[in-house]
Amino acid sequence: MVDPERLRRVLQRVTDDLDSLETYARRPAEDVTNDAASLGHVKYLFVTAIEGCIDAAHHVAASEGWSPAETNAGAMEVLGRHGALDRQLTETMVAAVRFRNLLVHRYAEVDDRLTVEHLREVTVLRRFVAAMVALADQR
């Protein structure tokens, strides 16, 4: 069974990261792109926020006794198969996991403009948090 308090703690850290990302999203894109420190912070925040979502997905799947995912993207797909995420959110979270993998494994090759463009998609991660909070509230 899902540990609602553990899940809420993970989601609070994700929310804190998203709050910081939204601060950058309000800045002109070229300001963020041209500021190496800000850009590095944005990349780090994306990595930690998405990793928090991944942790939440694995926790929920394991706690509910759903089939274990072999990959982080697979954890999102497991949630989708069991109705914890709708189809669109599942697909978007799979893409977010892939973006996180790009940031982690090919950091130097990431197009900085692409990273800044992802700031517009912070609302998707907030939708994931909301879905997980709703699930925790049911427990």
- The torsion angle over the Cα atoms of residues 17, 125, 34 and 105, rounded to 10 degrees, is 90
Q: Which of 8, 97, 126 is nearest to 60 (CA)?
A: 8
Sorted by sequence, the CB contacts under 8 Å of residue 114 that are 6+ apart come out as: none
- Write down the pLDDT at residue 110: 85
- Write down the pLDDT at residue 139: 65
- Write down the pLDDT at residue 1: 80
Number of domains in the chain: 1
Q: What is the mean pLDDT of each run of 10 residues along the chain (139 residues)?
A: 89 98 96 95 97 97 92 97 96 96 84 92 95 86
Q: Assign 26 to helix, strand or coil.
A: coil
Quick check: 47 and 97 in contact, CB under 8 A? no
- Write down the pLDDT at residue 88: 97
Structural domain boundaries, residue 129:
4-138
pTM of the predicted model as reported, rounded to 2 decimal places: 0.94
Q: What is the CATH number of the domain that holds 73?
A: 1.20.120.580
Angle in degrees, 0-180, between the axes of helices 4-25 and 122-138, rounded to the nearest 10: 160
- Write down the pLDDT at residue 108: 67
- Write down the pLDDT at residue 137: 83
Quick check: 42 and 99 in contact, CB under 8 A? no
- Write down the pLDDT at residue 4: 87
